[in-house]
Amino acid sequence: MKTLLVEKDDTAVRAHVTDVPEDRLPEGEVTVAVRHSTLNYKDGLCLTGGGGLVRTYPHVPGIDFAGVVESSTDPRWSPGDEVILTGWRVGESRWGGYAEKARVRADWLVRLPPGLTLRQSMAVGTAGLTAMLAILALEAHGLEPGQGPVLVTGASGGVGSVAVALLSAAGHEVAAVTGRPETEGYLRDLGATRIVPRADLSEVSPRPLESETWAGGIDAVGGAMLARVLGQMRYRAAVAAVGLAGGADLPATVIPFLLRGVSLLGIDSVMAPIPEREAAWARIARDLPKDKFDAMTRPATLADLPDLGRAILKGQVQGRVVVDL
Ligand code: NDP
């Protein structure tokens, strides 16, 4: 099976396309013929040996894949079923989706929802699923369209792009924070009505509270930007913390929580329970405007991934990449 294999020697970590016999796949109940995979920030780390995520080499990255069940020893899955896998540390601590076949636990798979193709599901991928989980968390907290602008940070990245499109489709006014002014047209096409330059939010404010601006927030950046956003939330509004593209620290005070009743909602897609994933995928299939997929997505092959992995770590990938196997 054609595979993107990452190998490590004394001097470097190298990724290359090669043939790997199928009997080297890990143990698991379900073998899937992978049709598409994608590229997330974490894949960039796994492709380059960064972040200490991969402990054992040789390794096959790819934290997401979509494909067709080839064989299953678990009665829940049959040959021909169309399935999606995201998370569960697949592609990090065990072999993932950058190969023509993958073998995983039956408990980890989600059925492709009606209304979405396998390829579209990978245009969404972990990044988009996470954006949807964040929106569901904000809605559970009380966010409704008409309450005011919802801020999305890291907006031209994977999580951000899908968040902008989904929030706009749900009827929200969306403000998009980007450090790349050239993506303004792209973000407005996805549904952003306001563009906020990254520089406006990249320094910690000397004042813990600024004017009440945002009815909700989805933050893919962390660091000073998240601290800043917390101080700009409207009374009782919530921010969903999704990522750390700008840093893992949080140089904030508790003042926004105490004086404005602001909430910080943590979002994890990796170990999220299956019923939550199914609900999120169903909403994605229903709400994500299919005409936005083309603008949001670019195709790639396994051979393109080493370069793309380096690019996503530098914040240079716009939107989502779909890897065709
Ligand atoms: P991308 O690289 O596609 O997007 C990140 C975006 O953040 C960039 O496009 C850029 O947007 C912005 N950005 C990058 N560097 C900086 C910086 N130094 N300061 C401010 N903004 C910056 O990654 P993803 O969208 O795939 O992932 C985003 C984050 O979410 C990552 O940290 C990832 O690990 C995390 N994540 C978490 C998940 C979870 O389950 N909690 C699941 C998936 C992802 P722009 O150019 O528009 O400014």
4 lines ligand 1 (CB under 6 A): no
pLDDT for 290 beyond 90? no
Answer yes or no: do 142 and 102 share one domain.
no
Answer yes or no: do 6 and 107 share one domain.
yes
Query: Is 63:305 a contact under the CB 8 Å cutoff?
Result: no
Q: What is the pLDDT of residue 138?
A: 98
Euclidean distance between CA atoms 82 and 36, whole angstroms: 12
pLDDT for 108 beyond 90? yes
Q: What is the pLDDT of residue 293?
A: 79
Query: Is 238:261 a contact under the CB 8 Å cutoff?
Result: no
| Cα–Cα distances in angstroms (integers) from residue 285 to residues 227, 253, 258, 269, in the given order | 33, 39, 38, 17
Based on its alpha-carbon atoms, the radius of gyration of the chain, rounded to whole angstroms, reads: 20
Looking at 33-96, list the stretches that DSSP marks H as alpha helix, in order from N- to C-terminal side.
41-48
If one compares 9 and 259, the residue with the highest pLDDT of the two is 259
pLDDT in tens, 263-285: 999 999 999 999 999 999 999 99
222 domain-assigned: yes
- Buried/exposed 126-161: b ≥16 CB within 10 Å, e otherwise: bbbbbbbbbbbbbeeeebeeeebbbbbbbbbbbbbb
Look up residue 182 and give its two tokens: 């050239």
Q: What is the pLDDT of residue 49?
A: 93
119 domain-assigned: no
pLDDT in tens, 155-180: 999 999 999 999 999 999 999 999 99
pLDDT for 10 beyond 90? no
Euclidean distance between CA atoms 106 and 92, whole angstroms: 18
* pLDDT band, very low/low/confident/very high, at 146 (cuts 50, 70, 90): very high
186 lines ligand 1 (CB under 6 A): no
If one counts every other C-beta atom within 10 angstroms of the C-beta of residue 307, the result is: 12
pLDDT averaged over the chain?
A: 96
Q: Which residues contact 85 (CB under 8 A, 6 or more apart)?
A: 32, 64, 65, 66, 97, 102, 104, 108, 109, 110
* pLDDT band, very low/low/confident/very high, at 295 (cuts 50, 70, 90): confident
pLDDT in tens, 195-251: 999 999 999 999 999 999 999 999 999 999 999 999 999 999 999 999 999 999 999
Q: What is the pLDDT of residue 110?
A: 98
| Cα–Cα distances in angstroms (integers) from residue 129 to residues 141, 226, 228, 233, 254, in the given order | 18, 21, 25, 24, 29
pLDDT in tens, 26-68: 999 999 999 999 999 999 999 999 889 999 999 999 999 999 9
Separation of 296 CA from ligand 1 center, angstroms? 15
User: Residue 62: which of 125, 8, 120, 107 has the closest Cα?
Assistant: 125
216 domain-assigned: yes
How many domains is the chain built from? 2
Look up residue 323 and give its two tokens: 């890897």
Can you list the pairs that 17-24 forms with residues at least 24 positions away whose Cβ atoms lie under 8 Å? 17/302, 17/303, 20/60, 20/99, 22/101
Answer yes or no: do 256 and 297 share one domain.
no
Separation of 159 CA from ligand 1 center, angstroms? 7
pTM over 0.80: yes
From the alpha carbon of 245, which atom of ligand 1 is closest? Answer: 32
Q: What is the pLDDT of residue 276?
A: 97
Amino acid at 203: E
| Cα–Cα distances in angstroms (integers) from residue 324 to residues 51, 126, 192, 200, in the given order | 26, 16, 29, 38
Q: What is the pLDDT of residue 45?
A: 96
Answer yes or no: do 97 and 137 share one domain.
no
Answer yes or no: do 160 and 242 share one domain.
yes
155 lines ligand 1 (CB under 6 A): yes
> What residue owns the CA closest to ligand 1's atom 44?
127
Q: What is the pLDDT of residue 176?
A: 98
Answer yes or no: do 221 and 171 share one domain.
yes
Domain at 179, CATH number:
3.40.50.720
224 lines ligand 1 (CB under 6 A): no
Answer yes or no: do 42 and 104 share one domain.
yes
From the alpha carbon of 266, which atom of ligand 1 is closest? Answer: 41
List the domain range (segments joined by +) for residue 25: 2-112+292-324
